[in-house]
Structure formats: structure tokens, C-alpha cells
């Protein structure tokens, strides 16, 4: 699991890759929270374009960041989830709370800052 962070204006973009399961969920949670605190951002984009697997621990990470940012008036957007990850998020009710977006395809790869 690799995680890369980019700041776009006042929005923190988190590019996730690999598998998000109980083995890495705590580390991802801590890393994201540290970056939110460091930059003082209220808006977060979680880019799942390179995530190959996610279990309920990953859903917990997403929902926890949503609760944390909602308390201070912020937002969480989910971006570019693959079919299976998108199904897990949908069945968990995540999309009833957060916006989902797909970025434009560019030469077969998703565009944006996530080049993991």
C-alpha cells in the first residue's frame, strides 16, 4: 500500500494504491489525519484509481475521515474507484454521504495528480 498526498488549493488529494485491509488501515488513517492537521485542510479527495482491493477496514477509514471533516464544515469526495471497490463503497452507504467523481481518461490512464 502506497499513499501519496497533493495539495490543490485548500483541498488535500490522497492517492491510494494497492490493498486497503486491516493490516494497513491504521497507518492510512494516521497518515491522512497527519496531513490534514499539517495543512489545515477541510476538503479531502480520496483517489482510489490504483486500489486493487478494499475490505470493511477501508470503509472505516473513509467514514472516519468524513466524520472528522464534517465536524469542521469540510467535505470528502471519492474519486476513480474501480468496479469492485466502488461496489463495496456503494453497498456500505458511502455514496449517500459523499460525492463520487470520475476524472477524464487520458491515454488509457486516469488523469489527475495520482501517478502511483
Per-residue DSSP letter, 98: S
Q: Can you tell me whether residue 93 is helix, strand or coil?
A: coil
Give 41-85 pLDDT, tens digit per residue.
999 999 999 999 999 999 999 999 999 999 999 999 999 999 999
Q: In the chain, what are the domains?
A: 2-110 (3.30.750.24)
Structural contact between residues 2 and 17, judged by C-beta atoms closer than 8 angstroms = yes
Strand partners of residue 6: 13
Structural contact between residues 3 and 110, judged by C-beta atoms closer than 8 angstroms = no
For the whole model, what pTM was predicted? 0.90
Amino acid at each position: 500500500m502506497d499513499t501519496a498526498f497533493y495539495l490543490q488549493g485548500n483541498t488535500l488529494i490522497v492517492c491510494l494504491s494497492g490493498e486497503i485491509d486491516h493490516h494497513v488501515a491504521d497507518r492510512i488513517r494516521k497518515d491522512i489525519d497527519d496531513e490534514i492537521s499539517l495543512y489545515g485542510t477541510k476538503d479531502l479527495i480520496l483517489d482510489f484509481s490504483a486500489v486493487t482491493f478494499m475490505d470493511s477496514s477501508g470503509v472505516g477509514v473513509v467514514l472516519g475521515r468524513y466524520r472528522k471533516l464534517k465536524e469542521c464544515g469540510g467535505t470528502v469526495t471519492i474519486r476513480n474507484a474501480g468496479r469492485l471497490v466502488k461496489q463495496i463503497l456503494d453497498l456500505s452507504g458511502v455514496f449517500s454521504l459523499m460525492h463520487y467523481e470520475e476524472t477524464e481518461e487520458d491515454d488509457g490512464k486516469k488523469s489527475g495528480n495520482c501517478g502511483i
